[in-house]
Structure 1
């Protein structure tokens, strides 16, 4: 079977290397606008299955052209191209696993078209959204009445330095987007939008992480797919102490605004200016990072208050030579892709992981992630909250 990977960045390269190991896949085409990225990807993959192709990926027609002979594609593209890739996959009748989870309502409007094309599109198939989504969904499934689900995730440096105690693993543009976008959540059974950088709470993880802080961020598709199954649902993003306070000050002063202002007779976008200023200050002493995940679901089971929780603390992967965030983002997508090709996932339409990886599929999927080095730990005894 032929798989196309769209994008040869850090995540795309990780995806290519992993899927090239799957026996079901006979050909992997990595497509990017930059030959330099493709060359680096080919060198990393070291597989005769992998072939590179430069192409524009700016339009639906561009992407459809490279998907025309593929069985499945994995999109490792910027947020701005996610919807374009989905439309191209439908046109090409090509299954698609997409790492981006934003704009779910727009994407879901295309679900009927995907069904008619006989394909499945899995959006938000990374760590958050992704792993956090199906953990929350499974916790809800295990309860008779679900009161609250909290999805907590953060990518943080192993060796943090001041002043922000953070370093960029992917694109600062995406990080600031997370910081400025209202946070979709479920409150008392209704979808709400919470102001960005609100809901500050303290949280602790096992050493060497220790004390951290978290704020509300976007719950993505789960705000829609789990609305009728849980009374309250939130996503929280983790950083080291002090980071959120400083970012909130920048936001309050207008440095994260996207509306242009005049400076020295020229229009500038404050957020773009801030990205330029901050980028060199967010390069740490090493690229070693840590990914932390905790998902807690509370409710009632057989009349007893009960909590289910899962935790992941993952470190830079020295064996693969990749960041933890690259690993935990890429590998769920590769497993989902393999399951589609194997027929273990046979639905059609637009189906996020929380609709797919529950009940009988849940533990096998978690076991496969564990075998690949993503160790998700479950609090083995259901905890009474009485």
Structure 2
């Protein structure tokens, strides 16, 4: 069979495997392949990056070296791409970073709601994973990145002031799908949106099952997440698979009203793809299709939120994510 496009997928983790599968399953004219030798990029039409944070910038290096468009899921801070913005622009390629869940589809929804001239007052985001078995946390994506996430200091904008918080700060009790949960401030990866909206408050919270913070701190105290024990702990904690949810809640507050987007992905214990794989990998598969078909015409560094104003692109991406069984609901509420 002759393929119209060839897509190179960089990475060998859970998300990269799902990206590879979704590209090939959804598109008969696309052959997605796992990138093992960088020379294979000579015949590729697109690179999709899904590398761990510490080596994530490698995808951008390859895209620039071989002058190939890049749709990147890798856990890389926006500032790293922005620092190389001129280099990307001169290369004549398109680089779209943050094409995952959060950052990713969350940024896209924020971009849609903030592209109007109506003043944005506040932005609040919550995202995380849970299981119907409340005393179980599903380790659904890169284990090392997940551990690092709960060690980082985060920046939040509260009432016009930028404040820094340690991991697990801002503890709040939550409840989703009847499951007792908790949330805390977390690094977001979408702070650059603040410059475009002027919102006086922008917060991001990670949602975890009730008791997770205590579990994590005890594990740290015992050295279970130390470099020497990381591989052993990863194998043990990922071994047991149970039903799992991945959820996102995006709230944008305007004068007189607030818009709330809710996203939910679910996977049964024995499904091949977990809920995080579904909601994350569906985004680069949809964005990559749009880019290959020429529906995304912009060159240079392009963030997902910059594309959301285009109604055709917006609907195509939302439909692509929904194909993986992800629920996406928008509600409008009047302010009290």
Offset, 1:239: 0.6
SS in 2 for 1:295: strand
Structure 1 counterpart of 2:73: 99
Contact conserved, 2:265 with 2:275, CA < 8 A, in 1? yes
Q: Which has the larger radius of gyration?
A: 1
Equivalent of 2:303, from 324, 348, 352?
352
Partner of 1:377: 329
Change (3 A) 1:123 1:254: farther
178 and 213 in structure 1: CA distance in 2 versus 1, 3 angstrom threshold: same
Q: Secondary structure at the match of 1:312?
A: strand
Offset at residue 143 of structure 1 (A): 6.7
Q: CA deviation at 1:282?
A: 2.2
Evaluate the alpha carbon distance shift between residue 185 and residue 347 of structure 1 in structure 2; reply closer, same or farther with a 3 A threshold.
farther
Change (3 A) 1:123 1:182: same
Q: Is the 8 A contact 2:138 2:241 kept in 1?
A: no
CA shift for structure 1 position 227: 2.7
Structure 1 residue 116: deviation in Å? 1.4
Q: Give the aligned length.
A: 330
Go from structure 1 to structure 2 and tell me whether the alpha carbon gap of 1:277 and 1:96 turns closer, same or farther (over 3 Å shift). Answer: same
- Alpha-carbon distance in 2 for matches of 1:175, 1:245: 16
1:290 paired residue number: 245
Aligned equivalent of 2:203: 234
5+ residue gaps, structure 1: 32-53, 56-62, 257-269
Cα drift, residue 134 of structure 1: 1.5
Query: The residue matched to 2:306 in structure 1 has which SS?
Result: helix
Give a deviation string over 1:35-82, Cα, whole Å, max 9, x none.
xxxxxxxxxxxxxxxxxxx43xxxxxxx4x332221111112111221
Residue 244 of structure 1 is matched in structure 2 by 213
CA shift at 1:99, angstroms? 0.7
- Could you say which residue in structure 2 is the equivalent of 1:18? 22
Whether 1:119 aligns to 2:90 is no
1:29 is displaced (CA, Å) by 2.3
Provide the rounded CA distance (Å) in 2 between the counterparts of 1:287 and 1:199: 28
1:333 and 2:270 correspond: no
Residue 119 (structure 2) pairs with residue 169 (structure 1): no
Could you say what the CA RMSD is over the residues aligned between the two structures, in angstroms? 2.6
Aligned equivalents of 1:359, 1:326: Cα separation in 2? 26
Q: TM-score, normalised by structure 1?
A: 0.77
d(CA) in 1 for partners of 2:294, 2:22? 19
- Which of 128, 138, 141 is the aligned partner of 2:102? 128
- For residues 201 and 214 of structure 2, the distance between their equivalents in structure 1, rounded to whole angstroms, comes to 26
Aligned to 2:317: 365
Residue in 2 that maps onto 1:200: 171
Counterparts in 2 of 1:284 and 1:238: CA distance versus 1, 3 Å: farther
Q: Are positions 1:6 and 2:10 aligned together? A: yes
Q: Name the SS of the counterpart of 1:238 in structure 2.
A: strand
Cα drift, residue 188 of structure 1: 4.1
Gaps of 5+ in 2: none
**Alpha carbons of structure 1 residues 16 and 277: separation in structure 2 relative to 1, 3 Å:** closer
Residues 204, 212 of structure 1: 8 Å contact kept: yes
